[in-house]
Structure 1
């Protein structure tokens, strides 16, 4: 159903029941487990029971030991897409023997999706980053000529704060992309490249772009508008809205501060549900996700409070 892009709300609801998911993770093969959570994520249906059942040591160990790179990549990608934290799985994946098999046997998309998921879930992945940071792996990603895979990979280094540490590989991927027709970039890829440039800038690494296309910037939310009115009402005025942390850099609008007292460098960020991961144990909002934490780190590096 997911492959055909046919929505299946009744089927999805029936699958994400405790007795069904328990049988799936107990009797199912790694590919069957991976395909199920991948389908849920592709159809954009939350699956809290399934996510909770998968992120258990006994299930994860079978997945990373017996599963193919595609199974591992699809599972962690699905968890990240659904914003379900997966600390046990992330830790198991970032082991030397697992990442070496992933970069040796996995396709560029599987490698890119795995590091993207780790960054989205805000899990440091030193072993995976080190394994990807090799000329052989980077050239494989470049040769495939899929911009989204390149965008996912360098964006992940940016979100994890690893641009300087992996500068040679990031520059190789970046420079190859900049030689292409940027009009062919999809909006998401273009956004990721711009964000990577800003993350790199905060680490002291300059990545040059020749893109003339502007990324679409979202409008302030109703919550943000209401908060601004309440602040003024209670005497906390003098702020500016939608402030770029990088003065004179138009791309900085992608990381604009919701409400800012510029003279004091005080930032007020209004985080909604999309900024947080759902706990694997409770299903409730827990830690900030990778992009949100990366923005917080960037603002701090620029002297914002």
Structure 2
């Protein structure tokens, strides 16, 4: 039995990447998965997630099959929660599968144990699937099972609701705070960091609900002590921002406890947080729960606009000016961020792989108000960034500047 085989190796902690690869491709290549039972599916995806063996084809095959089933009546709560947990842990988002599993989980919620609840909610929040039905339906059940929850389950549930931004006065009350406080000495560093974000969420809501001061202090310290490191991508983006003449600070610690990659001071007195979001901040190029929560809380609590530079936008090659006209990675691909930093807006078009597409309405940083370059030299900089000449046309009726490619 293939599911038993991979489950056994994953449980034993024995690394067998070639075996997992072959079994994965075998299952993915089958014409039908009708012979597999719900336990088989949950065991297989759990094994791959636990063994950290990536196999998108396998996960897509199983996801497509389960999503097409007319009914998930044969799936029990454990199988539902394990399956969704495995997809989140493996960093695979299958929208139709998550919708199907969520609908079934809501229907069977009264049969869920505390571990099933925590795993299901954590998984959905992790991939950014914050279905209002799910979080609303499980709130009363969570409230009735607080004394059954472990400290990890309490932290995961609190964090998941924070990501979903799903306030529930019947759940997050004195009883919930009491359950957290009674486990103060049991929480891991990760759990304490999650609870700091939950406490920040209560500040967002202005709920007045607070953890005991001793626990608040532990949570904040754990959150601020999380490891961080500068990546080459971050250094490249910051370098481009500096090259554009922007006034910025790197690795800034905010009042909320969040640390941001760069804080840019804009000419009109605003401050903008530039976050260089690498692969760990996304799941299938969708913002992961951790990124959603950070961006929202920095904007709400620290009152700083957040601009994200996704890693794949930076990695797209663009043309440079000069005799060689060779593609170059990075130069100017902070555009989704830096174009936001000036008070004057513009429409910008630029070529990628010989196709034109509209980046959208963004704030032009080039010759306008942000730094001391003449209009001509600033347009030359944009020319270098975009790869084609640009010109500033007449001011339109709306506040902004019309920037368009010149004919070549």
TM-score, with structure 2 as normaliser:
0.64
User: Which residue does 1:240 correspond to in 2?
Assistant: 249
How far did residue 21 of structure 1 move?
2.8
Larger Cα-atom Rg: 2
How far did residue 177 of structure 1 move?
1.0
**Secondary structure in structure 2 of the residue aligned to 1:217:** coil
CA–CA separation in structure 1 for the residues paired with 2:70 and 2:177:
36
| Alpha-carbon contact 1:94-1:126 (below 8 Å) kept | no
How far did residue 190 of structure 1 move?
1.1
User: Which residue does 1:21 correspond to in 2?
Assistant: 28
User: Which residue does 1:283 correspond to in 2?
Assistant: none
Deviation string, structure 1 residues 251-292 (Cα, Å, up to 9, x no partner) = x32x322111255121100000011112xxxxxxx2111221
Deviation string, structure 1 residues 174-205 (Cα, Å, up to 9, x no partner) = 3311133x232112211111111123322323
| Alpha-carbon contact 2:85-2:119 (below 8 Å) kept | yes
CA–CA separation in structure 2 for the residues paired with 1:271 and 1:98:
32
Q: Is 1:99 aligned to residue 106 of structure 2?
A: yes
- CA, structure 1 residues 289+114, in 2 after alignment: closer, same or farther (shift >3 Å)? same
User: Which residue does 1:84 correspond to in 2?
Assistant: 92
Q: Is 1:264 aligned to residue 270 of structure 2?
A: yes
Q: Which residues in structure 2 correspond to 1:127-146 (within 5 Å)?
A: 127-134=133-140, 136-140=141-145, 142-146=146-150
Give the unaligned 5+ runs of structure 2. 1-8, 306-408
| Alpha-carbon contact 1:118-1:124 (below 8 Å) kept | yes
- Structure with bigger helix share is 1
| Alpha-carbon contact 1:2-1:43 (below 8 Å) kept | yes
Q: 2:229 aligns with which of 220, 236, 253?
A: 220
User: Which residue does 2:155 correspond to in 1?
Assistant: 151
Deviation string, structure 1 residues 225-257 (Cα, Å, up to 9, x no partner) = 443344334422x32233344x3xxxx32x322
How well do the aligned residues superpose, as a CA RMSD in angstroms?
2.2
Q: 1:111 aligns with which of 77, 95, 117?
A: 117
User: Which residue does 1:282 correspond to in 2?
Assistant: none
User: Which residue does 1:176 correspond to in 2?
Assistant: 179
Q: Which ranges of 4 or more aligned residues in structure 1 deviate by more than 4 Å?
A: 57-60
**Secondary structure in structure 1 of the residue aligned to 2:261:** strand
How far did residue 34 of structure 1 move?
0.8
| Alpha-carbon contact 2:262-2:274 (below 8 Å) kept | yes
Q: Is 1:120 aligned to residue 119 of structure 2?
A: no
- CA, structure 1 residues 31+62, in 2 after alignment: closer, same or farther (shift >3 Å)? farther
- CA, structure 1 residues 220+207, in 2 after alignment: closer, same or farther (shift >3 Å)? farther
| Alpha-carbon contact 1:25-1:33 (below 8 Å) kept | no
CA–CA separation in structure 1 for the residues paired with 2:68 and 2:204:
35
CA–CA separation in structure 1 for the residues paired with 2:151 and 2:71:
29
User: Which residue does 1:188 correspond to in 2?
Assistant: 190
TM-score, with structure 1 as normaliser:
0.84
CA–CA separation in structure 2 for the residues paired with 1:193 and 1:157:
11
Aligned residue-pair number: 283
| Alpha-carbon contact 1:266-1:304 (below 8 Å) kept | yes
Higher relative contact order, chain-length normalized (CA < 8 Å, sep 6+): 1
185-194 vs 171-180, greater mean Cα deviation: 171-180
**Secondary structure in structure 2 of the residue aligned to 1:168:** coil
